Amino acid sequence: MKRFVVTLVLILPVLALGQGGGGRRQTEPVPEGPVPRAASGHPDLSGYWRDDGNANPHGNLGKDLPGFKLPFTPAGEAAHKYNVEHTIDPESLCLPGGLPREDVGDMGFQLIQSSTDTVFIYQYGTFRDVPVDGRKHTEDPDPAYFGEEIGTWDEDTFVIDSIAFKDSKTWADENADPHSDALHTVERWTRLDAGHLRLDLTVEDPKFYQVPVHYRRTWIAAPGRHTREQACSENNIDVSAGHLGFGPGPIRADGTRGYDDPSPLPPLPSKSNPAKTILPPGIQ
């Protein structure tokens, strides 16, 4: 039976990673103090950054728009319908989430800043490398999930300008909102203090969106954590057994992906009400 197991697929690794710190979200202290600086004099954005819990609805590129309503063009509307009805979540297939999807998810990431490169390391074993060496966009860059990314500093804000995105097997967010190969993202990353990193994101995609979309959120420094190895293609039985359905599943009224009214769980087993193991016919 086809199921929207995607949500489970996303949640399970987080639970496992949570042993490294995810469960401490509520009590984990927020580092205080001034913005640390690199030897170059720029703010040092390095560290593990966790979701602050306020970027609601998570996973929705239209978070900051009235009614979370994205300004689709007719082509964008058609592409959205196609994603919902005909595409499997690319991340469930171990494809990179790409931009802007990685910016709107609810998982933390590791940032490593050197004098020439800034690297974002994500869950699922994906990273992106942003060169920060004065180079410009090339004339005919190959399309990629993260695009061709160029980093610059605008005073204390780290700016990433990205073009040349793939236009197939890509979702712009968790909700299967689309983007085209005309996507252009500008990320402005500002470390407000020791504990907070803010993103101001502008998404332009004239093929699929009538006007640019703005998105803003903040992450919290979690110096005790780091990203862990995840071998996405190892035993990915949901893919190999063909159990994934198309699209993100239902989108709730609050703009997030998932079921509004899940069936209640059965009561926990106890001594008086022990768990029953039901075996398939023929198995003793």
Partner 1 sequence: MKLNLALAVICLVATVFAQDQINGSLTASEPTTPSKPAPRTPDGHADLGGFWKGDRKMKPGGNIGKDLPGFKLPLTPAGQAALQYNLTKTIDPESLCIPGGIPRHNASGLPFMILQTPKYVAFLYFYTYYRLIPVDGRKHTDDPDPSFFGEEIGRWEGDTLVVDSIAFKDEKVWIDENANPHSDQLHVVERWTRPDADHIHVDTLIEDPKFYTKPFTYQRTWLAGAPDQTLAEYACSENNIDKDHLSPGPGDILPDGTRGYATLDPLPPPIKPTAPVKP
Under the criterion CB under 8 A, does residue 94 sit at the interface with partner 1?
yes
Task: Kindly state the smallest distance separating residue 125's Cβ from partner 1, in Å.
Answer: 6
Under the criterion CB under 8 A, does residue 273 sit at the interface with partner 1?
no
Task: Kindly state the smallest distance separating residue 55's Cβ from partner 1, in Å.
Answer: 24
Which lies closer to partner 1 via its Cβ, residue 229 or residue 261?
229
Q: Count Cβ atoms within 10 A of the Cβ of residue 91 and give its class: 0-12 exposed, 13-18 middle, 19 or more buried.
A: buried
What are the C-alpha distances in Å from 47 to residues 196, 220, 223? 11, 10, 6
Task: Kindly state the smallest distance separating residue 136's Cβ from partner 1, in Å.
Answer: 12
Which lies closer to partner 1 via its Cβ, residue 229 or residue 260?
229
End-to-end CA distance of the chain, in Å? Answer: 25
Under the criterion CB under 8 A, does residue 246 sit at the interface with partner 1?
no
Separation of alpha carbons 134 and 207, rounded Å: 29
Separation of alpha carbons 246 and 82, rounded Å: 9
Task: Kindly state the smallest distance separating residue 130's Cβ from partner 1, in Å.
Answer: 9
Under the criterion CB under 8 A, does residue 15 sit at the interface with partner 1?
no
* Binds partner 1 by CB under 8 A, chosen from 8, 85, 135, 252: 135
Which lies closer to partner 1 via its Cβ, residue 110 or residue 190?
110
What are the C-alpha distances in Å from 253 to residues 129, 257, 259, 260, 272? 36, 9, 10, 8, 39
Under the criterion CB under 8 A, does residue 83 sit at the interface with partner 1?
no
Query: Hey, what are 146's tokens?
Result: 């993260």
Under the criterion CB under 8 A, does residue 133 sit at the interface with partner 1?
yes
Give the 3-state DSSP-derived string for 169-191, with helices as H, strands as E and coil as C: CCCCCCCCCCCCCCCEEEEEEEE
**How far out from the chain centre does Cα 130 lie?**
17
146-175: which residues touch partner 1 (CB under 8 A)? 146, 169
Stretch that binds partner 1, among 130-138, 151-159, 187-195, 241-249 (CB under 8 A): 130-138
Separation of alpha carbons 165 and 145, rounded Å: 6
Residue 274's CB: how many other CB atoms inside 10 A?
A: 8
Q: How many residues bind partner 1 (CB under 8 A)?
A: 36
Which lies closer to partner 1 via its Cβ, residue 8 or residue 16?
16
Which lies closer to partner 1 via its Cβ, residue 59 or residue 151?
151
* Binds partner 1 by CB under 8 A, chosen from 96, 105, 195, 249: 96
Beta strands in 155-255 (DSSP E): 157-163, 184-193, 196-204, 213-221
Please answer whether residues 73 and 208 qualify as being in contact, where contact means their C-beta atoms are separated by less than 8 angstroms.
yes
27-66: which residues touch partner 1 (CB under 8 A)? 39, 46
Residues that bind partner 1 in the complex, under the rule CB under 8 A: 39, 46, 93-96, 110, 112-117, 119, 121, 125-129, 131, 133, 135, 142, 144-146, 169, 226-229, 231-234
